[in-house]
Amino acid sequence: MRCDIRCDIFCAVVDNFGDIGVCWRLARQLAAEHGYAVRLWVDELASFARLCPQIDPAAPLQNVAGVDVRRWDRAFAAGVTPADVVVEAFACELPECYVAAMAARPSRPVWVNLEYLSAEAWVDGCHAMASPHPRLPLVKHFFFPGFGPDSGGLLRERNLLARRDAFIADAHAREPFWRRAGFEPPPADALVVSLFGYRNPALGELLRAFADGDRPIVCALSDGPLLRAAGASFDHPDPRPGEQLTRGSLQLRAMPFVAQDRYDELLWASDLNFVRGEDSFVRAQWAARPLVWQIYPQAGDAHWAKLEAFRARYCEGLAPAAAQALSGLWRAWNRGDGVGSAWPAVVPSLPVLAAHAEAWCAVLAAQADLASRLAEFCANRLQ
């Protein structure tokens, strides 16, 4: 499917993987599902290559998965013709010459600033708000991802839930997943936990709580600073991906950082997912398994309001004991203290939380996804 709509997405990688993780997903989806001709401008290709190994970090121009990927250099070429739809991700500033060229186009592009995800109530009111340019004949619109029908929605590929269900239904699919990561499939009686997070002083406490529990736990800890910190708890400095450390009921697996599509498989292969930031947090909701969210910390503790807004929304309709236990663990993990008592309180509620995660996912899946809402928004405005 190919339509005539050309789209430029601009992504500045601030830190971590979330900025490019979201932009890459959106770019692929607009190309594959809406027929857009997408150019993705990225200022840093090294992080991108970790999510998508087909990316050559040294190539200024490449085509991957139907997306034209361009390195966004400081010296941005003045001759670039602006597309019909321009997505500025997370308020990254567009090159001045590009904005001038947008204003000079006979039909002005639809200009969208893709914002960060939040469950706060004000999002619905601010979604799609217009902001006229102070000097040029251009209007920028704010596109707010969110959880309700009046927001910009959540990224979800058309076949995602079918792929998930096929993976979960097929035990033979899970086995190669673990073997490729360097491990045996987890024992059938173990609780499988994936763990992806920011540096956290509570890590040692969490691992001790896992080790002290009655049920065997296989914890797949993704490569990164948290993995290195875990080594200290085991007197095993610098564990390498593929290594396995054991203490009490806990088998800690040092997971390699896998490509973005395979990260979904890790979430699907786990009974509980510790996730962070924005994109892994959304993917854990599509995995329909209980989750523990470590929010991206902001200056002045601004992130707590966001965490509480999502927590309140997510816990609606959840049995009070399970809601209280889950809230306790989320707050303790984000505070970096108190997980030693919060974890055992959650364990008895895991079956209730699993059923709730499925119901939550089904409610979200009944709504249109972000790329479809964006495509509709643009179709209504393109002249």
Q: Among the candidate windows 104-112, 178-186, 271-279, 301-309, which touches ligand TRH by CB under 6 A?
A: 271-279
Q: Is 19 a catalytic residue?
A: yes
Nearest CB to ligand TRH, comparing residues 161 and 355: 161
Nearest CB to ligand TRH, comparing residues 17 and 377: 17
The H helix count followed by the E strand count for the chain is 15, 14
Q: Among the candidate windows 107-115, 276-284, 340-348, 365-373, which touches ligand TRH by CB under 6 A?
A: 276-284
Q: Of 208, 7, 170, which is closest to residue 89 (Cα–Cα)?
A: 7
Q: Is 27 in the site for ligand TRH (CB under 6 A)?
A: no
For residues 110 and 141, the answer to whether their CB atoms sit within 8 Å is yes
Nearest CB to ligand TRH, comparing residues 281 and 314: 281
Give every strand in the sheet of 244-247, ordered side by side. Answer: 244-247, 250-255, 217-222, 191-195, 272-276, 291-294
Which one of 200, 222, 233, 334 is in contact with ligand TRH (CB under 6 A)?
222
Q: Is 41 in the site for ligand TRH (CB under 6 A)?
A: no
Min dist. Cβ of residue 371 to ligand TRH (A): 15
Alpha carbons within 13 angstroms on the beta-carbon side of residue 106 total: 0
For residues 7 and 83, the answer to whether their CB atoms sit within 8 Å is yes
Q: Is 253 in the site for ligand TRH (CB under 6 A)?
A: no
Rounded-to-integer distance, Cα 371 and Cα 279, Å: 14
Q: Is 121 in the site for ligand TRH (CB under 6 A)?
A: no
Q: How far is CA 182 from CA 40, 176, 219, 227, in A?
A: 33, 10, 14, 16
**Interaction residues for ligand TRH, span 89-108 (CB under 6 A):** none
Which one of 5, 11, 18, 325 is in contact with ligand TRH (CB under 6 A)?
18
Which one of 157, 205, 279, 369 is in contact with ligand TRH (CB under 6 A)?
279
Q: Is 278 a catalytic residue?
A: yes
Please identify which of the residues 8, 84, 205, 278 carries the catalytic annotation: 278
Which one of 142, 177, 257, 304 is in contact with ligand TRH (CB under 6 A)?
257
Rounded-to-integer distance, Cα 293 and Cα 274, Å: 6
**E strand or H helix that includes residue 142:** strand 139-143
Please identify which of the residues 8, 19, 223, 369 carries the catalytic annotation: 19
Q: Is 42 in the site for ligand TRH (CB under 6 A)?
A: no
Q: Is 258 in the site for ligand TRH (CB under 6 A)?
A: yes
Which one of 1, 2, 4, 15 is in contact with ligand TRH (CB under 6 A)?
15
**Interaction residues for ligand TRH, span 152-191 (CB under 6 A):** none
Q: Is 280 in the site for ligand TRH (CB under 6 A)?
A: yes
Q: Is 260 in the site for ligand TRH (CB under 6 A)?
A: yes
- Fill in the DSSP letter of residue 1: -
Nearest CB to ligand TRH, comparing residues 47 and 349: 47
Kindly state the tokens that stand for 315: 């816990």
Give the binding-site size for ligand TRH (rule: CB under 6 A).
23
Q: How far is CA 125 from CA 121, 134, 154, 379, in A?
A: 8, 22, 17, 21
Rounded-to-integer distance, Cα 309 and Cα 289, Å: 20
Can you give the length of the chain in residues?
383
Nearest CB to ligand TRH, comparing residues 251 and 294: 294
Rounded-to-integer distance, Cα 282 and Cα 268, Å: 13
For residues 150 and 128, the answer to whether their CB atoms sit within 8 Å is no
Binding site for ligand TRH (CB under 6 A): 14-19, 21, 51, 116, 196, 222, 257-260, 263, 276-281, 296
Residues known to be catalytic: 19, 278
